[in-house]
Amino acid sequence: MKGSWLFTLGWLQNPLREYWERNFDPARNPFIGLYQLNAFDLAVMIPYFLVLGVLALYGIHRYWLVYYFFKYRDHVPGPPPPLQRWPKVTIQLPIFNERYVVERLVDAVARFDYPREQMEIQVLDDSTDATQQIARACVERYQALGYSIFYLHRTNRTGYKAGALANGLRHATGEFVAIFDADFIPPPDFLQRTIPYFADPQVGMVQARWTYLNRNYSTLTEVQAILLDGHFVLEHGARSRRGTFFNFNGTAGVWRRAAIEEAGGWEHDTLTEDTDLSYRAQLRGWKFLYLPEIECPSELPVEINAFKTQQARWAKGLIQTGKKILPRLLRSEQPWYVKVEACYHLTANISYPLMILLSTMLLPAMIVRFYQGWFQMLVIDLPLFLASTCSISSFYLVAQRTLYPRTWKRTFFYLPFVMAVGIGLAMRNSIAVLEALLGRQTEFARTPKYRIESTQDTWWRKAYRNRAGWLPFAEIGLGLYFVASVVYAVQNENYATVPFLLLFVGGYLYTGLMSLAQPWLERMRFGVRRPAEVRPAATGAPSF
């Protein structure tokens, strides 16, 4: 019996050895590193891949938006029927401490090519500074010219912008309500081109596309324009064409008053009152139209702290809206694809805290995986990298090619800046997202406007500048952390990761240092394009 057992063991010895060498020998199996991870390694690698996997899901969603944008290219609003009668429109101009731009805004609205007797203008002023006198004088001047224009000033900011709009609506007489923020200059034919679409009684809101007066001011404004173009071309375009919910952007749009009232009116329990009302109205069955061919020029923030404040407000507001709206939407009878898209839309900013987690885990993950095989880096890391990172570049390239078919290739130069700035915003936006998740309420932080329309204008001597606070020092610290990561990668000949790590270095150091030093750099005109460097506008017709 014993001999038989030894014979059997001897017979199995060679196959077992071959199986062991084939599956557990590092020289023959590139996945052997996965079997050699200890408890500490697993504690690093499991969260690392989980975070990267979630970011990859949101990245894949960008690819789907591009796919829907082209698949449903024929699902766009046709030309509206001619109107027999122009309805009455109330134009609301909510402002708060906008001394540099309020007169420009009122002048633009007064030039509307719309029957004056059917147009009512409300200047909704919550200002606490000299803007009051400027706005009041502007209103009185146009009242003397026969315009139906009214100045409504509140002594408190209850509800912030939403409160001002709700207060104005109580005094409004228009069947439709057009809204413009202080930094916009709507074209004279705006109402003539948008109001006819309301001939369909189911249409509750139409949204125009933003364009930018000062896109060519600096690299920062160029990056902002590319980011916003991606939102207005592909996000709005894909969602509206697919038949899913999309949002009013708070300005450059027109509402049917009945849609606002039936949805419950303006509410101020979120910082994105526009998105909140949009979802509530669409849940009540109102139809929204996106009209990208109608452009409305606006002014981009030229100061990075103002830009960061704006982005943080949007990030926090969307998470707040998601907490408020998604349970109601998921219980509704809306189609599954509407619910899925809404989940992606309203939770997308959760990627910012995940980006911070990924940032802190990159160096430990590199150290743990130093002895890992190249094959698993190719099989595991590359697909996740393509999904989470390359989707961003392709997303914005498609948007720019759609808008500027003749000059879109220049976007390749700006893509590293776009990705780096997106990374640099992660710290500030993560705090905003966590505040929203924890239910912490904060005031509506306005975005200062300085009337910067060309590279010859300056802002550093003007009021309303945002304070940097402590956050830039944390961003600089993260940037230095990634400098150490780059040094480690070079020392260990892990050159493939260096370009990716440099995006983190550039993003965090740029946002941190610019937050502290930009006023001094502005005085020297550092980073501001010379007038001769301003590129001519693209001449290609957008192919929406």
Question: What does the mean pLDDT of the chain come to?
Answer: 86
Domains along the chain with CATH numbers: 39-69+350-531 (no CATH), 81-218+245-302 (3.90.550.10)
Which are the contacts of 363, defined by CB distance < 8 A and separation ≥ 6? 481, 484, 485, 488
Is pLDDT above 90 for 183? yes
pLDDT grade for 12, boundaries at 50, 70 and 90: very low
Tell me the pLDDT band of 544, cut-offs 50, 70 and 90.
low
- Nearest C-alpha neighbor of 315 from the set 267, 269, 272, 251: 272
The pLDDT, as a whole number, for residue 377 is 53
Q: Is pLDDT at 43 greater than 90 in this prediction?
A: no
pLDDT at 283 over 60: yes
Tens digit of each residue's pLDDT (9 = 90 or more) over 94-145: 999 999 999 999 999 999 999 999 999 999 999 999 999 999 999 999 999 9
* Chain position carrying tokens 């390694």: 41
Q: Which pLDDT band, with edges at 50, 70 and 90, does 450 fall under?
A: confident
Whether 341 shows a pLDDT value over 80: the answer reads yes
pLDDT band at 393 (very low <50, low <70, confident <90, very high): confident
Q: Which of 41, 125, 229, 274 is catalytic?
A: 274
pLDDT tens per residue, range 192-218: 999 999 999 999 999 999 999 999 999
Does the annotation mark 274 as catalytic?
yes
Q: How far apart are CA 33 and CA 18, in angstroms?
A: 19
Q: What is the average pLDDT across 167-189? A: 97
Give the C-alpha separation, 409 to 397, whole Å: 8
Name the DSSP letter for residue 179.
Answer: E
Confidence of residue 167 (pLDDT cuts 50, 70, 90): very high
Which residue in 41, 126, 183, 276 is the catalytic one? 126
Q: CA–CA distance from 400 to each of 161, 223, 308 (Å)? A: 32, 12, 23
- Of 133, 130, 132, 136, the closest CA to residue 149 belongs to 136
Q: pLDDT band at residue 81, thresholds of 50, 70 and 90?
A: confident
**Residue 359: predicted pLDDT:** 83
pTM attached to this predicted model: 0.88
Q: Could you read off the pLDDT of 217-266 as tens digits, one per residue?
A: 999 999 999 999 999 999 999 999 999 999 999 999 999 999 999 999 99
The rounded distance, in Å, linking the Cα atoms of 269 and 257 is: 21
Most confident of 371-385, 438-452, 501-515: 501-515
The reply to whether 126 belongs to the active site is yes
pLDDT at 379 over 60: no
In percent, how much of the chain has pLDDT > 70?
85
Range among 91-95, 512-516, 528-532 rated most confident: 91-95
Is the predicted pLDDT of residue 536 greater than 70, yes or no?
A: no
Q: Rounded to whole angstroms, how far apart are CA atoms 52 and 365?
A: 12
Q: Where are the beta strands (DSSP E) in 60-105?
A: 89-95
Residues 52-80 have a mean pLDDT of 92
172-181, 201-210, 372-381: the lowest-pLDDT one: 372-381
Q: Which residue has the higher pLDDT, 284 or 28?
A: 284
Confidence of residue 390 (pLDDT cuts 50, 70, 90): confident
pLDDT for 367 equals: 77
Tell me the pLDDT band of 529, cut-offs 50, 70 and 90. Answer: low
